[in-house]
Amino acid sequence: MNPVNAYDPTNPFNPINRYDSGNPANPINHYSPSNPFNPVNQYHLDNPLNLINKYNSDVPFAPLDGPSGSRTRP
């Protein structure tokens, strides 16, 4: 890593920016509503990794989706 760029504001590993609200690795933002890996949002409807939504007909990779996009097995 370039030591001159270590503190660049666009460098997400910049220790000064570590807690910046726009840094997804910010521990403070770990529970941000916009973070899909937020444990609080783990079961949120907008979270594509939500196990409850795994079987939702609106989820393209729902295992129960049939050819027509229905929730029935093909």
pLDDT digits (tens, 9 = 90+) for 49-65: 777 766 666 666 555 54
6-51 confidence digits (pLDDT tens): 777 777 777 777 777 777 777 777 777 777 777 777 777 677 777 7
Predicted TM-score of the model (pTM): 0.29
pLDDT at 65: 46
pLDDT at 73 over 50: no
CB of 46 closer than 8 Å to CB of 40: no
d(CA 70, CA 52): 16
CB proximity list for 1: less than 8 A, separation 6 or greater: 13
Distance CA 54, CA 61 (A): 7
